[in-house]
Amino acid sequence: MKKFDINQKLGDIAAEFPKAAELFREYKIDYCCGGNRALIEAIEEGNLNGQEIVDKLNDLYNEYASKNELERNWQEAPLNELVDHILNKHHAYLWAELPNISELTTKILRAHGTNHPEISKVHKLFHNLKMELESHLVKEEAQQYPAIRKYEESKVKNDLDEAIRVIMELEDEHTGAGDILKKLRKITDDYTVPDDGCPTYKQTYDKLQELESDMFEHIHLENNILFPRLFNLTNNSMR
């Protein structure tokens, strides 16, 4: 069964089939901040083998569909449930891990900063990301998500408008965070630990990669699913 083709948008593919994200990551295809582009554009940009990627994507989908392991359909789940999922999985992860990774990057800066000048860039970039993310999370937790919950109960347009008002700002912040993550990957040469790197060095790079994939999934759920669903609601309510 051929489900996906190269003309589909990256964000739509990942929204319909979350496992696609793993494949996109493998090929370094940005599906969260760049989710509005068609798969073909990313293939051309990265000089990738389109047929191979589409085949793998469809094989992966068929495998999961046959095992009946398709994940929750976030396009259709109630908005409250989607917001809870983002909070419990992704916000909780960031609040717990950002301080840990901060400590780790400071440790390797002190131990290896002289021999590996790139560490000081990693240290600075990570802390910029941490600071920006913390205020971003607070904005979502204190403003947008409560407005969504309020709208789910009231169905009053003003509550929906409140949730939509901040979307542009939030999207810009997602792009900013995505850019920092891309810079981190570049500076660390795809998180390659140098020969003289200690176990903490490796642990720090592992954690930064874990942070990257969690952030990609998180941004994808908001940019490609949550925000478009809110826009659709306003369009429908204006009819």
Q: Which residue, 30 or 222, has its beta carbon nearer to Fe ion?
A: 222
Q: Which residue, 12 or 140, has its beta carbon nearer to Fe ion?
A: 140
Q: Which residue, 217 or 222, has its beta carbon nearer to Fe ion?
A: 222
**CA dist., res. 93 & res. 221, Å (int):** 15
In angstroms, give the least distance from the CB of 60 to Fe ion: 26
In angstroms, give the least distance from the CB of 222 to Fe ion: 5
Q: Which residue, 50 or 228, has its beta carbon nearer to Fe ion?
A: 228
In angstroms, give the least distance from the CB of 22 to Fe ion: 21
The two three-digit tokens of residue 218, written as one number: 């998180």
Site residues, Fe ion (CB under 5 A): 140, 222
Q: Which residue, 45 or 172, has its beta carbon nearer to Fe ion?
A: 172
In angstroms, give the least distance from the CB of 124 to Fe ion: 22
In angstroms, give the least distance from the CB of 102 to Fe ion: 19
